[in-house]
């Protein structure tokens, strides 16, 4: 996925942006310390995401998000515990995705010479993809429809539709039959 890089200078964060970041961090803390599968938990998740989360989606606490306003999650998505989302560059998770525990979705990094500059590129997890436990999806990566990312993999390049990728750095090891998903 070729995408233009966005550069964000953290020294230019406004007081309003700082307050919003603090409020979001506090809301995530409350979610992470609320009994799951309760109306209170569901209400707090809805408060965090608003209309950026689809019906039937379940996020397992604890999780940590930075710039969560840049994260959208489709319908019927499952996200296991301990997910890290660095969302400054934008993260889109489409419908029917499964994300195992301890996964990192990272859409931003720091400039090598000026660490106060974030270099940001969006991450997209397409319909029906499955991300294995402990995987890391790096900035600018697109995970294709029904693709599978093996546990512990570090994905630095796009993975196509119906492909299976494993390793560090992840490489394609198999193509799945699309007719198996109809």
Known catalytic membership, residue 33: no
Integer Cα distance of 132 and 20 in angstroms: 32
The one catalytic residue in 110, 114, 167, 175 is 110
- What positions carry a catalytic annotation? 110
């Amino acid at each position: 996925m070729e995408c233009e890089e966005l550069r964000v200078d953290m020294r230019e964060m406004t007081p309003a942006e700082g307050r919003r970041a603090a409020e979001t961090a506090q809301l995530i803390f409350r979610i992470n310390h609320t009994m799951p599968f309760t109306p209170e938990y569901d209400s707090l998740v809805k408060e965090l995401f608003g209309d950026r989360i689809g019906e039937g989606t379940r996020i397992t606490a604890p999780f940590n998000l930075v710039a969560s306003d840049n994260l959208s999650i489709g319908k019927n998505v499952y996200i296991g515990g301990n997910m890290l989302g660095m969302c400054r560059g934008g993260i889109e998770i489409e419908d029917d995705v499964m994300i195992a525990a301890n996964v990192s979705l990272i859409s931003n990094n720091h400039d090598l010479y000026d660490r106060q500059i974030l270099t940001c590129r969006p991450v997209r997890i397409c319909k029906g993809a499955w991300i294995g436990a402990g995987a890391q999806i790096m900035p600018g990566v697109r995970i294709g429809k029904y693709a599978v990312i093996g546990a512990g993999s570090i994905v630095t390049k796009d993975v196509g539709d119906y492909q299976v990728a494993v390793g560090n750095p992840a490489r394609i090891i198999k193509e799945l039959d699309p007719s198996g998903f109809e």
